[in-house]
Amino acid sequence: MNQIGSFDFNLANALPIACKLFTNLALMSGLSIYFISTVVWFLVLSRADVSFAYPLVSIGYISNAVAAYYILHEHAFSPMRLIGTLTIMLGVIIICQS
């Protein structure tokens, strides 16, 4: 979305912004991956209790933080964020042990 920039939600902008959105390869790739993850989520819910499966969604927070650091070169991975990420990982481990 940084490539598209900020925009106002009004009728005059609808068509130009829609063209920018639907022709952006990175955005369309992300939406495709999101759709696939939704299908996978449905498959998971058909096989596991939601009380077990839903906390595992937090693994996405961890992978997003790591990907933002390595792929997007975001250097805002402060010690507090690292502690938060490790806390999430500990929670996932505890839930998996139950």
Closest CA to 17 of 5, 29, 30: 5
Co-location of 28 and 53 in the same domain: no
pLDDT of residue 4: 66
Co-location of 76 and 34 in the same domain: no
pLDDT at 39 over 70: yes
Q: Confidence class of residue 17 from pLDDT cuts 50, 70 and 90?
A: confident
Co-location of 21 and 5 in the same domain: yes
- The residue behind tokens 């939704």 is 38
> Domain count of the chain?
2
Domain of 90?
A: 49-98
Q: Enter the tokens of residue 76.
A: 């805002």
Total length of the chain: 98
Q: Confidence class of residue 45 from pLDDT cuts 50, 70 and 90?
A: very high
Co-location of 41 and 64 in the same domain: no
Co-location of 55 and 97 in the same domain: yes
> What values do phi and psi take at 78, rounded to 5?
-75, 170
DSSP 47: T
Co-location of 24 and 60 in the same domain: no
Co-location of 43 and 56 in the same domain: no
